Amino acid sequence: MKYKRILLKLSGEALMGDKQFGIDNARLMQYASEIKEVVDQNIQVAIVIGGGNIFRGVQAEEGGMDRTQGDYMGMLATMINSMALQAALESIGLQTRLQSAISMKEVAEPFVKRRAVRHLEKGRIVIFGAGTGNPFFTTDSAGALRAIEIDADVILKGTRVDGIYDADPEKNPNAVKYKKITFDEAYAKGLNVMDMTAFTLCKENKMDLVVFDMNTPGNLLKVVQGADIGTTVEV
């Protein structure tokens, strides 16, 4: 295996499947089975998931709501997704722990780095909810931060497309895919991979990022095994 401890970053929108809103149970169970394949190979898995299928902080700002209030609402949306994914993983026999960046002691542990690492060492999947616990930070930033904190080998960003392109491949059939690219090149080209805070965290802490298609069965395990799929962003 190429990696021993991974941070899997999923978007909330990915959980919608073919729906326009909310959670598609079939997609949820597909992701759970993909994750199980990796855990069965004794790979340590931590997960950060967004909340865009339920609520995004920028939505609130567009509607005239205070951005801080909207971002906290977005954090609650990530907790709903995290709890749903936790339930799906446990339904197929996996052990999990959900840690929240804001206090929700009835449903989640507080985030404690040492505890998170110990869970991973014991083979439990750790899901990090509520972003960083602070407004004005995305779940991409939360994923980068948690990956660095737990000393993950890599961030695997599961998306709907099979890597990073020079244009949107869903809109431009002539878009060219990058196999490998540096953080500086991605920034210079204005490629919309992660927000700048997440990018900076990864670059400064030498945390590689692999962007791949999570919706193709088997891809997650292939990436962990070192298969040449997706796009690797490195320092």
* Collapsed DSSP state (helix, strand, coil) of residue 90: helix
What average pLDDT does the segment 11-26 reach? Answer: 92
**Distance between CA 55 and CA 135 in Å, rounded?**
14
What does the pLDDT look like over 173-223, one tens digit per residue?
899 999 999 999 998 998 888 999 999 999 999 999 999 999 999 999 999
**Distance between CA 184 and CA 134 in Å, rounded?**
26
Class of domain 5-234: alpha beta
What average pLDDT does the segment 13-37 reach? Answer: 95
Whole-number pLDDT of residue 170: 84
DSSP character for 164? E
Average pLDDT, the chain: 95
217: its two tokens = 């069965």
Neighbour count for residue 195 (Cβ, 10 Å): 14
What does the pLDDT look like over 138-156, one tens digit per residue?
999 999 999 999 999 999 9
Is pLDDT at 105 greater than 80 in this prediction?
yes
- Percentage of the chain surpassing pLDDT 90? 85
Q: 210 - beta bridge partners?
A: 156, 232
- Percentage of the chain surpassing pLDDT 70? 100
Q: Check if the beta carbon of residue 56 is closer than 8 Å to that of residue 87.
A: no
119: its two tokens = 């869970």
Is pLDDT at 123 greater than 90 in this prediction?
yes
